[in-house]
Each structure stands twice: as structure tokens, then as C-alpha cells.
A = this chain, B = another copy of it.
Amino acid sequence: MLIEKSCKEFVEVLASKEPVPGGGGAAALVGAIGMALGNMVGNLTVGKEKYKDVEEEVKGIMEEATVLQERLLALVDRDAECFKEVAEVYKMPKGTESEKKARDEAMQVALKRACTVPLDIMKNTGEAIRLQRRLADIGSKLAISDVGVGVLCLKAALLGGKLNVDINLKDIKDEEFVKKCQQEMDLLIKHGVEVADETISIVEQRLKN
């Protein structure tokens, strides 16, 4: 599994010619890092007298954050699996008309499946951004810069997810599917970017005081 590789090795394999990991897996890992920072802020808030009033709420956020963090980590390897499926289809024969037809059909199926992973990255980072937004308000001020770095990573993963859906959508012929994906992404981006930018503003404000 890719996420079992050391950070150093992951970065080195990413930089290489190797087919996986690619941009999708990188976005998922950066999303997991972003959510982990939120979780850390939760850990540094809970148990502190100063933040006693919000302790239960922060614990709830951390439970959700742990789920999202694990899902984003799992998406690193799921992206690689989907990429390999597409690569397999590329190797299919295309000598005769019927071979071409079979290959084209298999490609459409593989590309659609490959879209699901970055779409899931976007959905999970969108949720994660919402949690960071709340942590910007109630998380320990000593760790407020970590909320900021976390949400910056999540925003990068959200927008990076979209680029990975887009590059697959280019070759998908099912217009209905393409339209549905685009609409879903538009909503996720609009809402996610807005909340992320709001979170960063709050972090900057709390850093000043």
C-alpha cells in the first residue's frame, strides 16, 4: 500500500516516472494532512480549563475528523487502483473494429470509475473544511496557526481533486454523467472555497490578538 511507504519514499516515487501515486493520490494525502492538523488542534484544546465550555463540542469534531482523515488516507490507494484500471484498458488490443469497440467501452467504464475517487476527495475535504471553520472559532489559540495550515491543505486538496476529475471528464462521452459531475463539483468548490477563505480570515484575526 502506498500509505505504508515512508513520507520520503512516497515523495520520491511520486516524483518518478512510476504510474502511481499521481496527482489524485497526492491530493488525498494532502487532504489527510490537513484534517490531521484539525484533529491535533482538537487534542490541544481538550482538557484545558480555558476551553472547558467547548470541550464536548471539540470532542465531537475530533470524532468526525478522525473518520474523514482515515477516509482521505484510504483514497490515496483507491486512486492508484483506479489509475491502474485505466492503464490496463490502454493496453487492450485495438486492431479490429470489434476490439476497438470493446476497448472504447471498457475505457468509458474505467474513466467513470476514476472520477469517483477525486470526487470523494472533494466531498471529504469539503466536510473537513467545515470542521476547521468551527475550530478556528473555538480551538486553542496557541494552535491557531495549525488550523490555518490545515485549512490551506484542505483547500489545495479540494481544488486539486477538481483538476483530477476534469482531466478524466475530458474523455467521457456520456454527457449526462459529465454534466452531473460538473454541477456537483461547482457546488463543492463554491461552498468549500468560501468556508476555507472565511476560516483563514478568522485565523489571521486571532493571530493578531
The interface of chain A, by Cβ under 8 A from chain B, is: 2-8, 10-12, 14-17, 22-24, 26-27, 29-30, 32-37, 39-40, 43-44, 65-66, 69, 73, 76, 143-146, 148-150, 152-153, 155-156, 159-160, 163-164, 166-167, 170, 200, 203, 207
Taking CB atoms, residues of chain B closer than 8 Å to A163 are: 145, 148-149, 152, 203, 207
Contact B149 A153 (CB under 8 A): no
Assembly CA distance A144 to B22 (angstroms)? 11
Contact B149 A23 (CB under 8 A): yes
Taking CB atoms, residues of chain B closer than 8 Å to A6 are: 3-7
Contact partner, A10, options B2, B7, B35, Cβ 8 Å = B7
Contact partner, A69, options B11, B34, B143, B170, Cβ 8 Å = B11
Copies in the complex: 2
Contact B26 A37 (CB under 8 A): yes
Contact A207 B69 (CB under 8 A): no
CB distance from A195 to the nearest CB of B (A): 16
Contact A33 B11 (CB under 8 A): yes
Assembly CA distance A32 to B9 (angstroms)? 11
Taking CB atoms, residues of chain B closer than 8 Å to A4 are: 6-8
Assembly CA distance A93 to B26 (angstroms)? 44
Taking CB atoms, residues of chain B closer than 8 Å to A16 are: 39-40, 43
Assembly CA distance A105 to B3 (angstroms)? 42
Assembly CA distance A76 to B7 (angstroms)? 10
Contact B207 A170 (CB under 8 A): yes
The 9 closest A-B pairs by CB, nearest first: A15-B39, A149-B160, A23-B149, A15-B36, A156-B156, A152-B156, A23-B146, A145-B167, A145-B163
